[in-house]
Amino acid sequence: MNNHPVLRAPGFLYRDQELHCERVPLHELAAQFGTPLYVYSATTIRERFRAFRRAFGRARHTICYSVKANSNLAVLRLLQRLGAGFDVVSGGELARMLKVDRRAAEDVVFSGVGKTADEIAAGLRAGILMFNVESESELAVLARCAARARKKARVALRVNPHIETETHPYISTGLREHKFGVAIEQARTLYARIREENYLDPAGISVHIGSQITDMEPFRQAMLRVAELVRQLAADGHRIRYIDAGGGLGISYTGEDDFPARAQAYAQAVLAPLRGLKIHLLLEPGRALVGPAGALLTRVLYIKSNDHKRFVVVDAGMNDLVRPVLYAAYHEIVPVAHRDGVRRAEVDIVGPVCETGDFLARDRQMPMLSEGELLAVLDAGAYGMSLASNYNTRGRPAEVMVEGAKARLIRRRETAADMMRGERK
């Protein structure tokens, strides 16, 4: 019997007052693997990927999952088996993809504003689909690397369409004052230069206006400007075969989310301006696929009061989940054991790290909690573990993947020996 509203079906839901990931009770995972612990629902990732793919229907497209959202090899393998391509932003992320399957490189786009010559050379050796180039200087380095390797590199200029979005300023990328891309007004001149290089193929156009965007209009506006650029380039004699629409589709961090409908609205906003253009669309969702598929389990260590202020001290800190302090991000936090009719109180949920900024929630209404109790921080599947650090020489959490009634460890907990392995005294 389910005695509590479903939280994040099919991944996280209460059964008989106990929070489960699919059919596995979270308290069992905490007992087996310890806390803090990242837990992922494979079924949620699979269902969201398929909903995203259905939204784009028969349009020629490849879903290039944004590896930076969650780069665990098990997550990447799951998506690769579903038919995903990948968007990488470093040589390390490319290496992860090659470890999953070297053939996956055929559907990899390499983005990022600061690619090194070594990273570019690695991409050329791997035979990736395309480089998303972000500056005239990078273009020159890519041309030299490609000529040295005698390999033709497909190129998409990342254009900056100067589109404003309602998101956190740190994850907005589409304005002129941001470091990303080249001004869309300069694109025709740069494409003419690309065509002069023997080992560069001006195959596409790339655009990405930011992250955690829930209003579809900025996506539509960006695609209108890109479509016009495609037509201008065609008049200049270029054959643009790919448009990389980037990522950025947001999720609800409060649980009110009809993802298939959201994906359909996004697809309509992106596809409508491109009607009549014979292009292959590349899409780079990250958070939208894996965010609600993950939760961070943490245990209450102490409960204390300083005058009128009440603190719940847990064993997960800002090194485990930095989003609340970095982006002032909201994550719903729920007890693993649900109890009806419990009095509520306003608390700060804080971690053990030696920083005032070490908190998961401030002034949050929570049921009265007890020391030793388990909490789940929801919607932590994206930019949780991938942003985790060893600050205070704290080992990063273990990660577990759940499918149905089965759970498997996909990254063991980091030890002090792991953290000091590369050091010399």
Which among 284, 234, 260, 258 is positioned nearest to 86, based on CA atoms?
284
| Coil, strand or helix at 288 | helix
Cα–Cα distance, 179 to 138 (Å, whole number):
13
Provide φ and ψ at 270, rounded to 5°: -80, -40
**How many Å apart are CA 158 and CA 208, to the nearest integer?**
8
Do you find a cis peptide bond into 335, omega within 30 degrees of 0?
no
Cβ count within 10 A of residue 325: 19
Q: Return the DSSP state at 166.
A: S
Determine the 3-state secondary structure of 36 from DSSP: coil
Q: Alpha carbon of 370 to those of 301, 320, 343, 362: distances in Å?
A: 9, 22, 12, 18
- Per the residue annotation, which of 21, 64, 145, 354 is the catalytic one? 354
d(CA 6, CA 211): 27
Distance CA 84, CA 47 (A): 13
- Work out whether strand 85-88 and strand 333-335 pair parallel, antiparallel, or are unpaired: unpaired
DSSP-derived letter for residue 254 is: T
Cis status, amide bond into 202, omega within 30 of 0: no
Q: 354 an active-site residue?
A: yes
Provide the annotated active-site residues: 354
